[in-house]
């Protein structure tokens, strides 16, 4: 029986106010809610704990944290058994600031043409927190001239990001190439995200993506920087690290829950990738 292809296509964001390309609202994390789109997605977490995948990173979001999803980055919420976080969410068009003011910040030029990437995870920046909370209050109550206020707040928000939270490594990002690759390997990533605790083979993943094993392995490494097996192991260890820090499961149980049948191998792999033993990680 041919495996079901869970190919993930680019998501189209429906803006409720067609001339105002921003959505601001509250929410709660949902496991395996996978997406990628051109719009920028920002979340400010104010309660509970959430685990997210953004691009290649496993992120544990605590109260006070802000996460940023750059255009076309694959992202998903992951359920590892702890309390789901509550957050304020902002999704906005990368043309939002230019559409309201021709002299405004050109995010399309920065993020798409020049390949700028914002940090995916920002901890404890009260400036960003305050801006997001003010924007939420403005749109919730629809205060007088709230659109102009939100425009000013978002301009300040992205100026702060551009000053303090831009990845320094040189990016080779190209929108068309990134989107094509993401669409091809997204079924494999979805499988890894969801079934990381089960046996996963390269043959199985290449079939899910409907490409040859050789092409899949080459494309996967070009996209992630790791071989398929390295990526699976790295992802499992990242989830294990999160479990050690946010749950009461024993180290042995964490190893099993993350797909490691051999606890000794788990210990060795964890120390190799994280630099410390699982026991020390738990104490920290």
Query: Could you tell me which CATH number the domain at 22-164 has?
Result: 2.60.120.280
Helix (H) or strand (E) holding 230: helix 228-246
The answer to whether residues 90 and 24 touch, using CB atoms and an 8 Å cutoff, is: yes
For 170, the 3-state DSSP assignment is coil
* 266 has pLDDT over 70: yes
Does the domain at 175-283 match CATH 1.10.10.60? Answer given as: yes
Alpha-carbon span 8 to 208, nearest angstrom: 12
Q: How far, rounded to the nearest angstrom, does the alpha carbon of residue 179 sit from its chain's CA centroid?
A: 15
* 30 has pLDDT over 70: no
For 279, the 3-state DSSP assignment is helix
Owner of token pair 């920087």: 225
What does pLDDT average to over the chain? 85
Q: What are the backbone dihedrals phi and psi of residue 75, each rounded to the nearest 5 degrees, phi first?
A: -145, 150
In the chain, residues under CATH classification 1.10.10.60 are 175-283
Per-residue pLDDT tens digits for 49-92: 888 888 777 888 889 999 999 988 888 887 776 557 899 999 99
b/e 66-76 (16+ beta carbons within 10 angstroms → b): bbbbbbbbbbb
The answer to whether residues 118 and 166 touch, using CB atoms and an 8 Å cutoff, is: yes
101 versus 137: the higher-pLDDT residue is 137
* Stretch 231-260: mean pLDDT: 90
Q: How far, rounded to the nearest angstrom, does the alpha carbon of residue 242 sit from its chain's CA centroid?
A: 15
The answer to whether residues 259 and 197 touch, using CB atoms and an 8 Å cutoff, is: yes
Strands laid side by side in the 40-47 sheet: 22-28, 86-92, 40-47, 65-69, 121-123
Count Cβ atoms below 10 Å from residue 180 Cβ, excluding itself: 12
pLDDT bin (cut points 50, 70, 90) of residue 5 is very low
* 197 has pLDDT over 80: yes
* Antiparallel, parallel or unpaired: β 86-92 and 22-28: antiparallel
Rg (C-alpha) for the chain, rounded Å, is: 20
C-alpha torsion angle, residues 68, 70, 76, 81 (rounded to 10): -20
In the chain, residues under CATH classification 2.60.120.280 are 22-164
């Amino acid at each position: 029986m041919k495996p079901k292809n869970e190919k993930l296509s680019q998501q189209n964001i429906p803006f409720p106010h067609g001339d105002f390309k921003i959505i601001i609202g509250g929410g709660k994390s949902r496991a395996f809610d996978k997406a990628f789109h051109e719009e920028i997605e920002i979340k400010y977490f104010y309660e509970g704990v959430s685990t997210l995948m953004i691009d290649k990173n496993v992120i544990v979001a605590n109260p006070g944290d802000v996460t940023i999803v750059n255009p076309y980055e694959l992202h998903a919420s992951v359920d590892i058994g702890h309390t789901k976080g509550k957050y304020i969410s902002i999704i906005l068009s990368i043309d939002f600031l230019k559409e309201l003011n021709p002299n405004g910040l050109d995010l399309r030029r920065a993020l798409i043409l020049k390949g700028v990437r914002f940090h995916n995870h920002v901890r404890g920046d009260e400036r960003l927190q305050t801006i997001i909370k003010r924007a939420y209050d403005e749109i919730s109550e629809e205060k007088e001239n709230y659109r102009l206020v939100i425009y000013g707040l978002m301009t300040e928000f992205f100026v702060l990001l551009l000053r303090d939270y831009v990845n320094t490594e040189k990016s080779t990002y190209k929108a068309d190439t990134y989107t094509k690759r993401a669409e091809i390997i997204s079924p494999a990533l979805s499988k890894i995200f969801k079934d990381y605790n089960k046996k996963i083979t390269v043959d199985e993943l290449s079939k899910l993506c409907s490409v040859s094993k050789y092409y899949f392995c080459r494309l996967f490494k070009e996209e992630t920087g790791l071989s398929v097996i390295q990526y699976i192991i790295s992802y499992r260890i990242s989830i294990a690290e999160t479990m050690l820090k946010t749950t009461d499961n024993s180290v042995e149980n964490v190893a099993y829950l993350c797909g490691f049948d051999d606890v000794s191998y788990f210990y060795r792999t964890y120390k190799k990738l994280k630099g410390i033993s699982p026991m020390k990680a738990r104490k920290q």
